[in-house]
């Protein structure tokens, strides 16, 4: 208790908490985009449930990983040497996650461009399999993003309570933003393609970091923000044209 009171009275601790909360929220954007796109593929009555399960699992994973900080830190130690480069467990997890994101985003883009016809007779089995597959894929990416998030937190502060509060706050923000973001993506088909492009870029970033090439996250998020701003301008232009056409009619 005395330790917690000392932290609460320390301005440095509050600055670290605010900084870490912002960092965790920014890092959670990747996870949230993936969850939104994936759950929008499900029938509407299953989407919110899948999003809440996915984000809930992210919270459980991150809190669980925080309880094993000593183990998480060891994940950055080299365990194998290939082609003159030493790989740690963290590197291999990031590479696997990046490859999965590339595969998933490319598959979704292909499906959007050339959708396969649905078979009404197998609709029920498809819903069940789709929901289970969605949860499995969300869990896999949760693990990748959670490890990256916790290692970032460990690098920013040594105080476990600050890490726990930052993780809980960031996941609560994800939970609040999940439904509006998913609805926005679902209502704007062009945004889906943009978001899939973001996932490809994030996947390439994870692979690059897995091979030891540091990619400043600021550049990645700046590119995402710029692309999103351009898309907002396009949407405003399309709406203005639609209004003019409606008025002329």
What is the count of structural domains for the chain?
1
The answer to the question of residue 107 being in a domain is yes
Find the mean pLDDT for residues 169-176: 87
In angstroms and rounded to an integer, the radius of gyration of the C-alpha atoms of the chain is: 20
Q: So what's the pLDDT on residue 97?
A: 85
Helices 44-66 and 160-187: crossing angle in degrees, nearest 10, is 160
Q: Is residue 247 part of a domain?
A: no
What residues contact residue 174 under an 8 Å CB cut-off, 6+ apart? 25, 28, 31, 32, 55, 58
| 12 found inside a domain | yes
For residue 171, being part of any structural domain is answered with yes
pTM of the full structure: 0.68
Domain range for residue 35? 2-215
Q: Is 84 within the bounds of a domain?
A: yes
175 inside domain: yes
Indicate whether 83 belongs to any domain: yes
- Determine the average pLDDT of the residues in 139-166: 77
Query: Sorting pLDDT into bands at 50, 70 and 90, what band is 122?
Result: very low
What's the pLDDT score for residue 127?
44
Question: Taking 70 as the threshold, does the pLDDT of residue 121 lie above it?
Answer: no
pLDDT of residue 125: 39
The predicted structure's pLDDT at residue 4: 64
Does 228 map to a domain? Answer: no
Q: Which tops the pLDDT comparison, 222 or 189?
A: 222
């Amino acid at each position: 208790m005395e330790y917690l009171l000392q932290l609460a009275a320390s301005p440095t601790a509050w600055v670290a908490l605010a900084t870490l909360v912002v960092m965790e929220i920014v890092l959670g954007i990747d996870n949230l985009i993936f969850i939104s796109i994936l759950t929008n593929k499900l029938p509407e009555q299953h989407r919110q449930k899948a999003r809440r399960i996915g984000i809930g699992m992210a919270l459980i994973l991150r809190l669980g990983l925080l309880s094993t900080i000593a183990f998480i830190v060891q994940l950055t130690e080299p365990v194998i040497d290939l082609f003159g480069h030493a790989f740690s467990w963290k590197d291999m997890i990031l590479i696997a996650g990046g490859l999965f994101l590339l595969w998933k985003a490319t598959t979704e883009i292909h499906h959007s461009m050339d959708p396969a016809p649905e078979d009404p007779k197998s609709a029920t089995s498809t819903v069940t399999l789709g929901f289970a597959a969605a949860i499995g894929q969300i869990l896999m990416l949760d693990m990748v993003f959670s490890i990256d998030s916790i290692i970032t937190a460990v690098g920013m502060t040594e105080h476990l309570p600050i890490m726990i509060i930052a993780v809980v706050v960031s996941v609560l923000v994800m939970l609040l933003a999940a439904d509006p973001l998913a609805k926005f993506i679902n209502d704007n088909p062009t945004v889906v393609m943009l978001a899939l492009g973001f996932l490809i870029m994030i996947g390439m970033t994870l692979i690059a970091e897995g091979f030891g090439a540091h990619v400043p996250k600021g550049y990645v998020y700046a590119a995402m923000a710029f692309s999103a701003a351009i898309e907002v301008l396009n949407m405003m232009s399309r709406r203005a044209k639609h209004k003019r056409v409606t008025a002329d009619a």
